[in-house]
Structure 1
Amino acid sequence: MRFVNYLFLGILLCFSSLGQDTTQIIQAGRINSKSQQSKPYVILISADGFRSDFSIKYGAKFLQSRTALGVKADAMIPSYPTLTFPNHYSIVTGLYPAHHGLVDNRYFDVNSGNEYSMGNKKMVAEGKWYGGTPLWVLAEQQGMLSASFYWVASEADIQGIRPSYFYTYNENIPIEQRIQAVKDWLSLPAEKRPHMITFYFPQVDHDAHEYGPEDPRVGDAVKWVDQSIAKLQAALDPLKLPINYVFVSDHGMTAVDTENTLKKPIVLDTTNFKVPSGDALLHVYTKNPAAVPRAIEELRKEKSFQTYLMDETPAHWHYRKADDRFNRLGDILLVPNHPSIFNFSPRKTSPGKHGYDNHHPDMQASFQAWGPAFKKGVTIPAFENVNVYPVIANILGLQVNESLIDGKLKELKPLLK
């Protein structure tokens, strides 16, 4: 069974973690202010790639049981582009990607001349790449401790602040140890106990990429995540704390055409253009503006993808030059028509992908929440993920200047008691 495989994998990873950074990092000297010690707790849980229908489709029994005990959305609309780094950061900042700066998993920063990549461990820990104020930074600024068992940017010194307790991202720590770490955090004395906690699962995304979203192995990953969340709550229930659980995903997943992948158009030569690798979208950065008119003319002859100048992209993406607060969007954007996909690698592309239009049904993410702050048995229509930020801040009693974010408390406040 898949569950046995995951357990075996956990044992192997435990041995292979020798030499990997699996130690907890603690910011010394921090305490909750007196006024924050009586506040509720929020555990924000993300299952990467957990499409909005996966809970029902693959029989996530624990999450299904939470529907009657909390609130659920038909779907959560991810921000564009529907990729991991931009959306995890949108959830915790209440900002669209072009507003917080993580415009892609990989992009060119025009001002510095550097190329950001989610795979560069040194780079992802540098606060200069991240705009906005993540929930853990907001909490720490207001005298409330936070903790993270992984989240995009949780290792970075954003505004000079990291969570009070966190781990450097790796997939080598078994789930039992991760759950125990959260229990240990919440068992600390009140002045040392974190109230804002993030917790991340990569398994569904990994398997949906590798096998495609319809493969039974994705169902096994969904069930494993579901059972792990059940174990997490079972471990924390004896603490008798007012814990609120918010379960989200960053995006959905779709099957793509792996046989007829798109290559980089010939007209985008390296003399005139810089094109970081991508699949469901390509940013084209211009070295020579004089080459743009001819390139646009040639690109628009292609019918397998859409070609946009950056003042022409769909309004619901919030992804135009006017939105580009950090000068990181390309000058031209190429977007394949689903199920087409770009592939610059000589290897065959994986059958599961995301990154497409955020209103595409297969790109829709999940949202559920339960705990003392939430009403019971409430289901709502789809909403944008930037609205998660103000509702979590509200539960924690943190002050937010809504003029500085894209999310609005009024969108989800009806879910609260």
Structure 2
Amino acid sequence: MSRSAVLLAAALAALLAPGAALPVRRQGPRHKLLLVSFDGFRWDYDQDVHTPNLDTMAREGVKARYMTPAFVTMTSPCHFTLVTGKYIENHGVVHNMYYNTTSKVKLPYHATLGIQRWWDNGSVPIWITAQRQGLRTGSFFYPGGNVTYQGTAVTLSRKEGILHNYKDEKEWRANIDTVMKWFTEEGLDLVTLYFGEPDSTGHKYGPESQQRKDMVAQVDRTVGYLRDSIRRSGLESSLNLIITSDHGMTTVNKAAGDLVEFHKFPNFTFKDIEFELLDYGPNGMLLPKDGQLEKVYEVLKDAHPKLHVYKKESFPKFFHYANHPRITPLLMYSDPGYVIHGRLNVQFNNGEHGFDNGVMDMKTIFRAVGPSFRRGLEVEPFESVHVYELLCRLLGIVPEANDGHLGTLLPVLAPEGGTGRPSTPPPTTRSGTALLPGGCPPLMAGLLLATILLAKVA
């Protein structure tokens, strides 16, 4: 082989080396991104309340008719789907509560927010992915934003306290002020901001209550304050804003004559159960004692017409929920309006979520405005699992492997070359490799060129 051929062979080896197919870096100015979640904001909450700021945001940007959250429709699992693009069985945050079926430990929601091993179980959320690609990120009260992932923490973060007052409108505005400083003074590129309302009010008073309507008006005022703050901070032309939520809310049939009460089921006994996770809305998990699985299942499968009990392997696949090691051999959910009572009746909420994500009351909102978005566009419903790919596109970063599809939400982005619109980053393959013009990944282009030259000099 000639000297030229040897050199070309070496070049070919370099192309095959790890890192040879790193993504092409985005050129030009990068826009910032603020993802805001108002917990428990049902898709139709703006229809019985005057919401001028949300309405203006829709006219000036993008609105989805509604968004379908992941199942199970709980706060932490659904929020983690938004920042990973994975169905819950694939990201592993399967419940609001940390639990261990061996030790029998169960921790409440606020304590679970700080349990690193509950969140860091293989999936890397967008904060960490963005930081690995040179960006700075922040999380303000967002579930999952206060632990480390593979040894890396979010650049800046705040965690809500266990006695945090979700309703304090003055604090909401102070939190927004802090986030604006994170963008302007700390140089952050991405921030996720969480508010615990109208979920808390919906639980306490019910989704049809006047208190909930008053809280939606407060949310709308806050959206107005947020958008004014973006303008005052000089970020209007450089920051994309997305407002969404994790799930909806429905009314609990507290006075129904057919409550779902395990302690009243004939032939069922908790003596056959090794571990239980009940009394958490309409969802439940059971680990029967050795040798008792079939017996418990046979007793429960037809125990109540409003209760749906499955063996793990038979749980409906379209929920994308049960195929994870943390899920117990038996799991269940109840019909809308019905919660699951275990040993005692200890649930007293007037509103609840956690139900089948196909139920309309579980649907939620999606609004977006900013330099990258079209104006005055309403889009058809979509699943929340697709939002992550959009977030990555807006930031110009290569996403981790996920269950979403970028094409679902590409139509919400403004065309390239429009006035004040950013150019989109290079399109990517499903593996995340950036494509050159014509759709050829750089590695393949290099291999093709090297092969041609080797043929000429060999």
Structural mapping, 1:170-319, within 5 Å: 170=161, 171=164, 174-188=171-185, 192-241=186-235, 242-260=238-256, 261-265=259-263, 267-277=268-278, 278-288=280-290, 290-302=291-303, 303-319=305-321
- Normalised by the length of structure 1, the TM-score is 0.84
Partner of residue 338, structure 2: 340
Which whole-Å deviations, capped at 9, do the CAs of 1:264-320 have from their partners, x for residues lacking one?
A: 3552524433111322110112331x2111211111232231111112222220123
3-state DSSP class of the match of 2:354? coil
- 8 Å CA contact 1:343–1:349 kept in 2: the answer is no
Residue 37 of structure 1 and its aligned partner are, at CA, apart by 9.4
Match of 2:355 in 1: 356
Q: CA shift at 1:116, angstroms?
A: 5.2
Residues 272, 292 of structure 2: 8 Å contact kept: no
Q: Give SS of 1:154's match.
A: coil
Contact 1:106–1:115 under 8 Å retained in 2 = no
Q: Deviations over 1:349-386 (max 9, x none)?
A: 11100011000010001111110111111111111101
User: Take 1:175 and 1:365, find their aligned partners in 2: how far apart are those partners?
Assistant: 21
- Identify the range of structure 1 (360-369 vs 155-164) with the bigger mean alpha-carbon deviation: 155-164
Deviation at 1:56, TM superposition (A): 2.2
Contact 1:258 1:348 (C-alpha < 8 Å) held by counterparts? no
Q: Distance in 2 between matches of 1:161 and 1:127?
A: 11
Whole-angstrom CA distance in 1 between matches of 2:189 and 2:222: 21
- 8 Å contact kept, 2:273–2:286: no
Q: Which residue of 2 aligns with 1:407?
A: 404
TM alignment of 1:129-148, pairs within 5 A = 129-130=118-119, 131-148=122-139
In structure 1, the partner of 2:427 is: none
Shift of 1:101: 0.9
CA distance in 2, matches of 1:36, 1:187: 21
Task: Answer yes or no: is the 8 Å Cα contact 2:272–2:288 preserved in 1.
Answer: no
- Number of aligned residue pairs: 372
CA contact (8 A) 2:286 2:330 kept: yes
Residue of structure 1 in register with 2:444 after alignment: none
Equivalent residues of 2:240, 2:369 under 8 A apart? yes
Counterpart selection for 1:124 from 113, 122, 134: 113
Using the TM superposition, give the Cα deviation of residue 346 of structure 1 relative to its aligned residue in structure 2, in angstroms: 4.5
Contact 1:44 1:246 in 2 (8 A): yes
> Over alpha carbons, which structure has the higher Rg?
2
Aligned to 2:327: 329
Residues 209/37 of structure 1: CA separation in 2 closer, same or farther (3 Å cut): farther
In structure 1, how many angstroms separate the alpha carbons of the residues matched to 2:328 and 2:380?
33
Query: Does the alignment pair 1:157 with 2:154?
Result: no
Unpaired segments of 5 or more residues in structure 1? 1-33
Runs (5+) with no aligned partner, structure 2:
1-24, 415-458
Q: 1:270 to 1:153 in 2, by over 3 A?
A: farther
Aligned to 1:366: 365
What is the TM-score of this pair, normalised by structure 2? 0.77
Change (3 A) 1:362 1:307: same
| Deviation of the 1:343 alpha carbon | 2.8
Deviations, residues 316-362 of structure 1 (Å, cap 9, x unaligned) = 20123xx31xx111111122122221134544511100011000010
CA offsets 1:172-226 (integer angstroms, 9 cap, x no match): 58123212101211221xxx41010111111200111001100011011111111
Q: Distance in 2 between matches of 1:292 and 1:97?
A: 25
Code of the aligned partner of 1:304 = K
Pair 348,415 (structure 1): closer, same or farther in 2 beyond 3 Å: closer
How far 1:399 sits from its partner (Å)? 0.8
Distance in 2, matches of 1:379 and 1:270, equals: 54
* Corresponding residue for residue 397 of structure 1: 396
For residues 348 and 317 of structure 1, what CA distance do their matches in structure 2 show? 25
Q: 1 CA distance for matches of 2:85 and 2:123?
A: 8
**Contact 2:140/2:158 (8 A) holds in 1:** yes
- Whether the 8 Å contact between 1:147 and 1:198 is mirrored in structure 2 is yes
1:21 alignment counterpart:
none
Separation in 2, partners of 1:142, 1:116: 36
1:175 is aligned with what amino acid?
A: W
Equivalent residue letter for 2:362: M
Deviations 1:253-272 (A, max 9, x none): 00121124322355252443
Q: Is the 8 A contact 1:56 1:64 kept in 2?
A: no
Q: Structure 1 residues 414 and 159 mapped into 2: Cα distance closer, same or farther (>3 Å)?
A: same
Q: Structure 1, residues 374-414: CA drift from partner, whole Å, max 9, x if none?
A: 1111111111101111101100101114xx21111111011
Question: Quick one: structure 1 residues 380 and 246, their matched pair in 2 at CA, closer, same or farther if it must change by over 3 Å?
Answer: same
Partner deviation per Cα, 1:27-59 (whole Å, 9 max, x = no partner): xxxxxxx97993111110000000001122222
Q: CA deviation at 1:138?
A: 1.2
CA contact (8 A) 1:390 1:409 kept: yes
Amino acid at match of 1:179: I
For residues 124 and 27 of structure 2, what CA distance do their matches in structure 1 show?
Answer: 19
Going from structure 1 to structure 2, the CA distance change for 1:45 and 1:268 (only over 3 Å counts) comes to farther
Kindly indicate whether residue 41 of structure 2 is the aligned counterpart of residue 39 of structure 1: no
- Deviation of 1:115 (Å): 4.0
